[in-house]
Amino acid sequence: MTREEFLAWVEQQPIGRFERIDGVVVAMAPERASHNLRKGAARDALRRAAREAGLTSCQAFGDGMTVQVENSDFEPDALLRCGPRVPGNSMTVADPLVLVEVLSPDSGTRDRATKLRAYFKLASVQHYLIVWPDEQRIVHHSRMPDGRVATKVLPPGEFTLDPPGITMTVEEFYLD
């Protein structure tokens, strides 16, 4: 299925969430409460941090926005992008800066491998956070100046994503 066919098809689906991975449509599993809470908290944390940093050109989105990478269309749980506003009728974000995925039983391997490789193919992506839904654990993947991707488990407390220069805490991803 082409990207255009996929986006048109998704708009016609009455229920469910879908991604297109290497041209194949993949249904996303129904969410559990902890997953839904984490992704909402992630979007809220990104939005708050951008506002507090005075980054008025940044927009934080929850799921529902599509990120296109080669022959795939992913729907991250939250993202932050900076620059001209995304048009109100857009279904895609071409230049995310920060991407967040909350692990779920059916997508854990995909989030930690397939999406990790794919997301960093986008030149705009500087940070990819993988959030565990049921324990306070966040893995931070970041693009280094030489292009390599560094990975670390974030300790409790404050952390900074630079660029764009925002500060959050691990704990705020776990607020209910």
* Cis amide leading into 164 (omega within 30): yes
Q: pLDDT value at position 29?
A: 84
Q: Can you tell me whether residue 108 is helix, strand or coil?
A: helix
Domain ranges of the chain: 30-174
Supply 59's token pair: 């927009």
Q: Do residues 150 and 141 lie in contact, with contact meaning Cβ atoms separated by under 8 Å? A: yes
- For CA atoms 63, 64, 67, 70, the dihedral sign is positive
Per-residue pLDDT of the chain (176 residues; tens, 9 = 90+): 899 999 999 999 988 889 999 999 998 888 899 999 999 999 999 999 999 999 999 999 998 899 999 999 999 999 999 999 999 999 999 999 999 999 987 777 777 888 999 999 999 999 999 999 999 999 999 999 999 999 999 999 999 999 999 999 999 999 98
Q: pLDDT value at position 68?
A: 96
- The answer to whether the predicted template modeling score (pTM) of the entire model surpasses 0.75 is yes
Gap between the Cα atoms of 159 and 175, Å rounded = 16
Cβ of 55: how many Cβ atoms within 10 Å? 17
Gap between the Cα atoms of 121 and 16, Å rounded = 27
The pairing of strands 17-21 and 24-28 is: antiparallel
User: Would you say domain 30-174 falls under CATH 3.30.300.130?
Assistant: no
Q: pLDDT value at position 72?
A: 93
The pairing of strands 158-161 and 166-169 is: antiparallel
